[in-house]
Structure 1
């Protein structure tokens, strides 16, 4: 290994264990969301296999892993759903709880929370998307 390779920063994706860790987080996260009576209704007609795959790809990108996501944009996918600010906050809380429960380092959780704050306007109903 060269000095340059040793000095390369390690992504959050690599720090938490890569694809298997992201998959575990997505599985636990959706278990929590689907068990939440306030949120489960958003997913009654959703192909959850595909939904889990999409979130894993998006979370991989957020964590600095390879970008293989080719789905719809956040606003396009979420604006028609009428997501309320309260429900968005609840989803964020479930994601934070999931990552914490899985032992993800606090700085990584904080960075994910920052991204959630940045994209809020694209997801919450009536958001202008200006937060992107």
Structure 2
């Protein structure tokens, strides 16, 4: 009898431990963001349970897990907030610090950084970029 090994690549989502790990990262991330006086104001009138759920679904997709996100698009949700680049960068730093603190492998964190760079224009307010 020959045993064949499954060569299906394991997603970043699976590598970090799936839904439980994503949820833990989202909880810690929002603890950091809400404790940051420069960022907390964005969440004053936000249902944080729903916000956490949305981010967990988005992070799952970013990490190659199942796509169950059905919320608003990034631009629709963020453009009205007038988020400057500096605040976007701070949020990204909180996210990558959270992932590092939880022991997420460096290549996965690098992937998240890449995605953050790719979606920045959808989140940052028009006219606040480096070429504005």
Tell me the TM-score normalised to structure 2 length: 0.93
Structure with greater contact order relative to length (CA < 8 Å, sep ≥ 6): 2
Q: Deviations over 1:16-49 (max 9, x none)?
A: 0000000000000000000000000000000000
Tell whether 2:44 aligns with 1:55.
Answer: no
Q: Which aligned pairs between 1:69-84 and structure 2 lie closer than 5 A?
A: 69-84=69-84
Q: Deviations over 1:79-131 (max 9, x none)?
A: 0001000000000000000000000000000000000000000000006xxxx
Unaligned ranges ≥5, structure 2: 128-132
Give the ranges of 4+ consecutive aligned residues of structure 1 lying more than 6 Å apart after TM superposition: none
Task: Answer with 1 or 2: which has the greater Rg.
Answer: 2
Give the CA RMSD over aligned residues: 1.0
Deviation at 1:68, TM superposition (A): 0.2
Tell whether 2:19 aligns with 1:23.
Answer: no
| CA–CA separation in structure 2 for the residues paired with 1:6 and 1:83 | 45
Tell me the TM-score normalised to structure 1 length: 0.93
